[in-house]
Amino acid sequence: MSDDVKQKVYDKARSLGANLVNCCSVCAWEEVPIQEPEFWPKNIWPWAESVIVLGIPLFAPMIDTTPSMVYQELYDTSNRVLDEMAYRLTSYLVTELGSRAVFFPRDCYYGIDDLVADPRAAFSHVLAGHYSGMGTIGDSHNLITAEFGPRLRMVSIITDLPIEPDPMLEKNLCIHCKKCLRACPTHCFAEDGGPVYAMDKVTCTKYHVQLKNEHHWPCGICMDVCPVGQDLKPYRKQPRITDDGITHCQRFGSHPASE
Ligand code: SF4
Ligand code: SF4
């Protein structure tokens, strides 16, 4: 596959609004196995050769208000933008470059309640981001990027174009500061000597069900407290938001459990 095609695909993705664009081979799932074969793209779509990952930022001073409608609207908007970009890039690959292509929508579940019994996603964009060199998997299980730390959302497009993969990052971007471990309101994380924290995903999911019932979700605190990311640079010398500002944003538009 010529560099020219890769450039065309990346230019198109950026023109659609993607801030980060990376690519890996579907062989990465087999070469560096983290998930069971059931999840490998090639075992779902046998013609697949490459996975293109698109990333867009979530803005820290809005996540600071979590749980709130301000953060929920940000989250919902980012999902909408990602699915639209993925649809349009897939359409470009199919109709203009003549390739086979599909996209894995960014969340792909009907409702958070449906994840309590099995909190796994059909496809992990975090893993695709890791294999494609967009970032590395942090102790919090989020993808940590140099640009936005874990404050980003991703979507993945799968194509039969054999696009030259971007190299996986050699340096782990997680600095093991334990801020996510300490800040998690449900104490989901535990140190067990593994490469990342052990995570009680069912407890995290049940907390999200509670937040959804209160009409302001998701949680996002483990993303919010992570100190990694150039996106935080403009806020280093002053608070990102006031305490009163957080209370204000949480007070309107939904009903916290205490009410
Ligand atoms: S999303 Fe919230 S509850 Fe879940 S692990 Fe992160 S901080 Fe904990
Ligand atoms: S908060 Fe600290 S320990 Fe948690 S993912 Fe970020 S850098 Fe790693």
Q: What is the DSSP string of 166-196?
A: PPPPSS-------HHHHH-TT--EE--SSSS
Give the residues across from 189 on adjacent strands: 199
pLDDT for 153-167, tens place per residue? 999 999 999 999 999
Average pLDDT value for residue range 65-89: 97
The rounded distance, in Å, linking the Cα atoms of 82 and 243 is 31
Sketch the domain layout of the chain as residue ranges: 3-230
pLDDT band at 1 (very low <50, low <70, confident <90, very high): low
pLDDT for 38-64, tens place per residue? 999 999 999 999 999 999 999 999 999
The rounded distance, in Å, linking the Cα atoms of 60 and 82 is 18
Interval between CA 138 and ligand 2 midpoint (Å): 6
pLDDT score recorded for residue 114: 87
Residue nearest atom 8 of ligand 2, based on CA coordinates: 174
Q: What is the mean pLDDT of the chain?
A: 95
Ligand nearest to the CA of 203: 1
- For the chain, give the percent of residues with pLDDT over 90: 89
Contact 20, 145 (CB under 8 A): yes
pLDDT for 80-123, tens place per residue? 999 999 999 999 999 999 999 999 998 888 888 888 889 899 99
pLDDT for 225-241, tens place per residue? 999 999 999 999 999 99
pLDDT score recorded for residue 180: 98
- Which atom of ligand 1 lies closest to the CA of 141? 5
Contact 26, 158 (CB under 8 A): yes
Interval between CA 3 and ligand 2 midpoint (Å): 35
pLDDT score recorded for residue 4: 92
Ligand 2 binding pocket (C-beta < 6 A) is 138-140, 144, 174-180, 225-226, 228
Contact 87, 103 (CB under 8 A): yes
pLDDT for 175-202, tens place per residue? 999 999 999 999 999 999 999 999 999 9
pLDDT band at 33 (very low <50, low <70, confident <90, very high): very high
